[in-house]
Amino acid sequence: MTESTLRVENLRTHFFTRQGVVKAVEDVSFSVGAGRILGLVGESGSGKSMTGYSIMGLVDPPGRVVAGRILLGGKDLRTLAPDEMRKVRGNRIAMIFQDPMMTLNPVLRVDTQMIEAIQAHADVSRAAALERARDALARVGIPSPQERLSAYPHQFSGGMRQRVAIAIALLNKPDLIIADEPTTALDVTIQGQILFEMQKLARESGTALIWITHDLSVIAGLADEICVMYAGRIVEHGSVDQVLDAPLHPYTHGLIDSVPSRGRRGEPLRQIPGMTPSLLDLAPGCAFRDRCARADGACAEDPALSSPVAGRQVRCFHPLTQSAVA
């Protein structure tokens, strides 16, 4: 395997609340290489967004990253001083958020919000920064970028705002972009356009991309690799084709199965029984066992990541075999 842009090793992010410790991210490891797209999939509260914030160093108290290494180009971000970490944010790693209506500051013009992102990292004149901002807007497909620079966010549609956010993320040519469900709030045609642009940009510029989502259909067309998260842990990891065609973990199987499909029209929609467990003082053992048809006594202990098939990992005592899926 080639040198990866980002390697996360045994990351743990815990929240120390009055009620107890919430282990939002527990022993998460993955890596993503230049020009590659990693899909981070899971339900709400599975810790996928918090993994993104942990990498960015943006976990708010009472939460904090308690263990692990976050290696960007071989350098552990956790050892950086706050101001050095600030220089990494928005420069080497950029992040795009879910709701484009909320991520741009409503009272600042788009050019202000773009110029400050450039000038935070480089000693550039206003005019030069403005030029870069305009080029970035043009690159993400915003028509008449020169005029749109002096507009306010509320003068853009949702899709256009997300393009502006992506343009801001691209400004400093980062090595890695973390996209936290950036198309969830958009309608399908706009989502398609944005996905296409992002894929193209990642391939062309060699930027590594972590795409956080709960939507498997987005991942199917976009990502190279996939990590499925459940209750703060990665439960399955592999290439997109492998994981989606032949899931090993019962949870992944349940997720794929609950996507409505045309072949099963008229049947009741399938779902995973039960609810995601509360992460507050989570009991040891497989967190999915209460919802799992294959669970037995062995599942009361923590399953380790195993590799039953080459190049794939799964955290389960009873992984599905090819025959069981069909």
Partner 1 sequence: MAPPYMGILHSAFWTLIFSMPVFIVRRLMQSVLVLCFMSLLVFVGVYAIGNPVDILINPQADQADIERAIAALGLDKPLWQQYLIFLKQALAGDLGKSFAYNIPAIQLILERMPATLELALAATGMAVFLGIPLGLWAGLKPDSWPGKLIMTGSILGFSLPTFWVGLMLIMLFAVELGWLPSNGRGPTTELLGIPVSFLSWEGVRHLILPATNLALFKLSLIIRLTRAGTREALLQDYVKFARAKGLSSTRVVGVHVLKNIMIPIVTVIGLEFGSVIAFAIVTESIFAWPGMGKLIIDSINVLDRPVIVAYLLIIVSLFILINLAVDIVYSLLDPRVRISEAKG
Q: What residue ranges bind partner 1 (CB under 8 A)?
A: 56, 58, 86-91, 94-95, 97-99, 102-109, 116-117, 120-121, 143, 147, 151-152, 154-155, 165, 168
Min separation Cβ 99 and partner 1, Å: 6
Using the minimum distance from each CB to partner 1, give the nearer residue, 124 or 309: 124
By C-beta, is 34 or 151 nearer to partner 1? 151
The residue (of 42 and 174) whose beta carbon lies closer to partner 1 is 174
Q: How far is the CB of 169 from partner 1 (least distance, A)?
A: 8
Give the 3-state secondary structure of residue 122: coil
Task: Provide the minimum distance between the beta carbon of 253 and partner 1 in the complex, in angstroms, as a whole number.
Answer: 34
Q: How far is the CB of 284 from partner 1 (least distance, A)?
A: 32
Give the CA distances from residue 32 to residues 6, 35, 36, 46, 213, in Å, rounded to whole numbers and listed in that order.
5, 9, 6, 20, 16
318 — phi, psi (to 5°)?
Answer: -125, 65
Are 220 and 240 a contacting pair, CB within 8 Å?
Answer: yes
Helix or strand holding residue 176 (H, E): strand 176-180
Beta carbon nearer to partner 1, 123 or 147 = 147
Token pair 């973390």 is found at 178
Query: Toward partner 1, which CB reaches closer, 124 or 151?
Result: 151
Question: Around Cβ 129, how many Cβ atoms within 10 Å?
Answer: 19
**What's the start-to-end Cα distance of the chain, in Å?**
32
CA angle 311–7–279, rounded 5-degree value: 85
